[in-house]
A = this chain, B = another copy of it.
């Protein structure tokens, strides 16, 4: 049977995306891949299994006649949050699953990959129309978990007093001058503009980006670049974490309860773990995927909660952009750092778009049921896989989340 170019292309893409998940796990030991440092995060091994479960459950069990599950228990173990698919292992206990062993999860991936690739090879036009959207969704889903593999292992390793690095050889950071000039404000006229992703557009988008619809924006200005670590250090030095006037009420309460004094993963000069590292620093250090390094003043500040981002903006005499202001400015001349550095908190709650419809069928729980109590982040980060970026992409996290690569860009009324 000869494969159509579409099928060939998706088979190639499938293999690439699936392989990249394993590549991300390469620097990690079996032990590293097993642990879970908080309920919000998951073990690497769990991510590897769950993304496979997604293809097995959503695709193979529904479209391969007589499909034999790799292990019937995995239905229970690796379901994340799909109530329609039955009971599941509690989220907070994913780190206790030493069995299946990592090599069994590798075997599970191989087993499923072969079945998926076979299914694609043998698909006629009718079947292809059915399975192509599921496979595409599954790959987008896997890419989301690829970012989580990085953010989650970073959190897990940060709990180790030895502060081990995820990778020894540092990743070249996105081109970043050691100094940046002052922010430049880019004026935007507003008016009725179209946002979101249209159904007619052939490329992929999640249900939460749809439908494309008009919104009314007043005129505003948006900063040409992200807020830097150096700027954020000034906020700290100006007692930003000690002055309630900059903070939302919930944020101030969380700050006090958790004794927040700086972004997550920043280490003050007197942190005993720095001393142990044989350094005698006189300034901030930052722990990250490459280990512990002196603060890079020109780098985008990261690992902020929404509360910290909003407090910084208040201190700076500005505000956060709404998600639509951000989206409307995506192609504004002079704007930079919109993607690839840090996710950018917006001043928009994660509400459904007018006319929002969840996906049909088994993936209907994918996005819609989380649309309350979260804030929208736009852009993408250093941890986002290549090709997983769109101007209409809506990422979302609770306002207290700090373990993502999350920073901010300023806006103001004009």
Contacts and interface: CB of A to CB of B under 8 A. Distances in A.
B248 A369 contact: yes
A99 B34 CA distance: 12
B249 A31 contact: no
A84 B245 contact: yes
Nearest to A193: B216
Copies in the complex: 4
A383 B399 CA distance: 32
Interface stretch (A1-9, A15-23, A200-208, A343-351): A343-351
Interface in A205-246: 213-218, 220, 244-245
A258 interface: no
Interface in A50-99: 72-73, 76-77, 81, 83-84, 89, 93, 95-99
Interface stretch (A157-165, A331-339, A387-395): A157-165
B160 A371 contact: no
Contacts of A157: 98-99
Given A215-B216, A250-B373, A372-B306, A98 B31 contact: yes
A322 B354 CA distance: 9
B160 A99 contact: yes
A245 to B, nearest CB: 7
Contacts of A192: 192, 216
Nearest to A34: B31
Given A96-B156, A97-B160, 13 more contacts: A31-B102, A35-B96, A73-B161, A81-B249, A89-B161, A100-B162, A248-B371, A248-B372, A249-B369, A249-B370, A347-B351, A348-B351, A354-B413
A154 to B, nearest CB: 13
A276 interface: yes
Contacts of A355: 218, 413
Contact of A96 (B96, B160, B252, B352): B160
A375 B349 CA distance: 10
Given A162-B73, A218-B355, A370 B248 contact: yes
Interface residues of A, number: 69
A101 B31 contact: yes
Contacts of A37: 96
Contacts of A161: 73, 76-77, 89
Interface of A: 29-35, 37, 72-73, 76-77, 81, 83-84, 89, 93, 95-102, 156-157, 159-162, 164, 192, 213-218, 220, 244-245, 247-252, 276, 306-307, 310, 322, 347-352, 354-355, 369-373, 375, 399, 413
Output the residue of A97, A157, A161, A216 with the most chain B CB within 10 A: A161
A16 B43 CA distance: 37
A321 B102 CA distance: 48
A162 to B, nearest CB: 5
Nearest to A97: B160
Nearest to A249: B369
B372 A375 contact: yes
11 contacts: A35-B35, A73-B276, A76-B161, A89-B161, A93-B159, A99-B157, A213-B216, A218-B355, A248-B370, A250-B370, A372-B399
